[in-house]
Amino acid sequence: MIRLDRVTVRYGSGAHGIAAARDISFTIAAGEVFGLVGESGSGKSTVLRAVAGLLPHAEGIVELAGEAMPRRRTRAQRRLLQMVFQDPYGSLHPSQTVDQALAAPLRIHGLREGERRIAESLREVGLGPEHRFRFPHQLSGGQRQRVAIARALIVAPRILLLDEPTSALDVSVQAEILNLLMRLRREHGLTMLMVSHDLAVIAHLCERVGVMQHGALVEQTTVDALAAGTVTHAHTRELLESSARFERDR
Amino acid sequence: MTAPPLLTVRNLRVTYPAAQGDIHAVRNVSFTLARERLGIVGESGSGKSTLGRAIMGLVPRPGRVAADELRLGAIDLRNLGESGFRRLRGRRIAMVLQDPKFALNPVMSVGHQIAETHRAHVRGSARAARRAALEMLHAVRIRDPERVFGLYPHQVSGGMGQRVMIAMMLIADPEVLIADEPTSALDATVQTQVLAILDELVRGRGMGLILISHNLPLVASFCDRVLVMYSGRVVETCGAGALRQARHPYTRGLLASLPELDHRRDVLPQLQRDPAWAEGA
């Protein structure tokens, strides 16, 4: 469903340009959930944005559902994939109601039956009709992230891109959102690509994981291998160790 | 005989007046701090940061702080006033904040900021302050203190910025350090380094440390004792090693809702909140 072939993303050009992601190749099957982990600046969000078409990639091929993506995507190609961002406080327009937030993608993609679709997508993410005409400030962080997920699902995409979808949330709310994502995946057969710095969150949702460091994909492994500690790259091991907990030398 | 506590808090209350009635951000919190590492955990809105600020005398108006007892050593903090707190902050009690990007002065080199703190508390020449700042940078394991001294906050990484802040807070040698989410803005690998530095300095100087965090497993692995806050109250106090045997349903619920790498479940248990917890049940 998603295939990247030697994708490089550069910021700037010439001597001042830097390659935020270099030579990235991976394949995600339909219905699979793939995780990208790495520290800040490792290039994981850059890769996600290149897949989303938010960043032009300088080299390589981004292929979605068997089609190589052109520099300017068609509306149908854009509908194939939707994105959920990290901060539900920043990703919803503060002066638009939930209803307006959900109506916008329908308008952009020229989809009919807005009434039914809005009600359905709210129900899908566990929000009631009473939330529909509220403003973001009248919702909790978890409810806002549900709205963001509903907004992504409303155009019935086949791919969901998730950029740290729970890292701005309390752990009890994180559990709710992770459970919701798991259910949506089961019910819709969505293909997901998730970026996170939290190995446990990645392990909960994904089967396979790519580890990024300094703009390169240094290892592709499975969550089972992560749990068993049978990883090959030093940086993966480093991430595993620091994700455990603080350990005193003595 | 046990040493007298560094900090004594009895029935601390923080209230913000609001049109719909007062908001009780902190409700009857009591604890003492010895030369130890005390963790305060809770989710957003639990009052943990407000508690830290109340101890520092940093609750902004119109917030009100009241307590049956609030003492730093022998000093009563309740009627200290702003000028009284100014004399204590830095030298007796200090606070490390979450994000060095916002807590450091962006237009002053980090070395000068540390030296300024030194001069604010210790009489001495500019040269002595510079020397002390360089020593402090060395103590927080910055490899090339001379070079880092002249850097501005935007030129240092998050981990280094946080070490700079720790250096600044420890230079006047306080007895009590309050660290509010000191590593939450940092990558996991850097987080461990910063905590190790904090640990070494706090233990080496025999200080009392209050570590405020939302990260239960982290606090449990770092601290000696943990207070769990919910809705402004301490609902549970336990030895950090015994967190897994926590009794309160809130603590247990929080722990259960964490995804774990080596224990994967299809569905994470979701926390069912009981309104009685907010009333101290």
Q: Give chain B positions within 8 Å (CB) of A165.
A: none
Within the 37-66 window of chain A, which residues sit less than 8 Å (CB to CB) from chain B? Answer: 39-40
Within the 186-205 window of chain B, which residues sit less than 8 Å (CB to CB) from chain A? Answer: 187-192, 195-196, 199
Q: Is residue A116 part of a domain?
A: yes
Averages of pLDDT over runs of 10 residues in chain A (250 residues) are 94 80 96 93 92 86 94 92 89 94 94 93 94 94 94 95 91 92 92 93 93 95 91 91 66
How confident is the model at residue B124, as a pLDDT?
A: 85
**Which amino acid is located at A217 in the chain?**
L
How big is chain A, counted in residues? 250
And the tokens for A157?
């995409």
Pairing of strands A67-68, A191-196: unpaired
Q: Is residue A96 part of a domain?
A: yes
Interchain pair B264, A243: CB under 8 A: no
Range of the domain at A129: 87-156
Do the beta carbons of residue A222 and residue A34 sit within 8 Å?
Answer: no
How confident is the model at residue A250, as a pLDDT?
A: 40
Averages of pLDDT over runs of 10 residues in chain B (281 residues) are 85 94 94 95 92 94 94 93 92 90 92 93 90 94 92 90 92 94 85 89 92 89 93 92 86 90 85 85 70
Q: Is residue A41 part of a domain?
A: no
- Measured CA to CA, the distance from residue A134 to residue B99 in angstroms comes to 32
Q: Is residue A249 part of a domain?
A: no
Q: Is residue A44 part of a domain?
A: no
Question: Is residue A171 less than 8 Å (CB to CB) from chain B?
Answer: yes
Number of structural domains in chain A: 1
Interchain pair B260, A239: CB under 8 A: no
Interchain pair B188, A39: CB under 8 A: yes
Distance from CA of B56 to the nearest CA of A (A): 25
Q: Give chain B positions within 8 Å (CB) of A240.
A: 261
Q: Is residue A135 part of a domain?
A: yes
Q: How far is CA B186 from the centre of its chain?
A: 16
| Neighbouring-strand partners of residue A195 | A36, A163
Interchain pair A203, B264: CB under 8 A: yes
Residue B188 is nearest to which of A141, A179, A242, comparing CB atoms? A242
Interchain pair A204, B264: CB under 8 A: yes
pTM across the whole model: 0.86
- Measured CA to CA, the distance from residue A139 to residue A89 in angstroms comes to 10
Q: Is residue A141 part of a domain?
A: yes
And the tokens for B45?
């809105």
Question: Is residue B107 less than 8 Å (CB to CB) from chain A?
Answer: no
Question: Is residue B222 less than 8 Å (CB to CB) from chain A?
Answer: yes
- Measured CA to CA, the distance from residue A125 to residue A131 in angstroms comes to 12
Q: Is residue A150 part of a domain?
A: yes
- Measured CA to CA, the distance from residue B50 to residue B272 in angstroms comes to 25
Q: How far is CA B67 from the centre of its chain?
A: 20
- Chain B residue at shortest CA distance from A39: B187
And the tokens for B191?
């987080």
- Measured CA to CA, the distance from residue A114 to residue A133 in angstroms comes to 15
Closest CA to B186 of B153, B216, B159, B217: B159
